[in-house]
Amino acid sequence: MASSLSPLKKRITDDMKSAMRAKEKQRLSTIRLILAAIKQREIDERRELDDSEIVGLLEKMAKQWRKAIEQYRMAHRETLEQEGRYELKIIQAYLPATLGETEIETLIRDAIDSAGATTLKQMGKVMELLKPRLQGRADLAAVSAKVKALLS
């Protein structure tokens, strides 16, 4: 069964083991949360997740942490904010490197050309092409706004 693990899931599992050995309690706790979320989704869907699905799950977790950190900051809960930032940093370590503005712009223009899109009605086709390329590497809401602006 160990060979059926996706490379990303294997890396997370290996990191959990090394955090255990190093007695890094906070890191271990965060990695266990990540693995629990992956396991829950696999149980719900009755199948193993691939790397892109795990990246999507991690993005969702990161987004939730960003919101929580902002709420902690606004409530002046410094300890919780610091813990949240630490957990977010660990989650982000498993996400692909983010792309720069020019790289994103180029991918958007390529997708628009590939889809032959000229109107907002064709935005779905463009986003369908972009999502697999940008998942975990760019804020898809911001990308969607750029596509919308270019097609308007």
pLDDT of 35-84, one tens digit each?
A: 999 999 999 999 999 998 999 899 899 999 999 999 999 999 999 999 99
pTM of the model: 0.74
The residue ranges of every structural domain in the chain are 2-93, 101-151
Distances (CA, A) of 101 to 42, 58, 141: 34, 22, 14
Alpha helix positions (H), the chain:
7-21, 25-45, 51-74, 78-93, 101-115, 123-134, 140-151
DSSP 122: G
pLDDT at 98 over 60: yes
Q: For residue 53, give every residue at least 6 positions away whose Cβ sits within 8 Å of its Cβ, in sequence order, or none.
A: 41
- The CATH code belonging to domain 101-151 is 1.10.10.410
Query: Looking at the domain that runs over 2-93, which CATH code has it been given?
Result: 1.10.1510.10
- Across the chain, mean pLDDT equals 92
> What count of other Cβ atoms lies within 10 Å of the Cβ of residue 82?
12
pLDDT at position 1 is 43
Going by the DSSP 8-state scheme, the letter that residue 5 receives in this structure is S
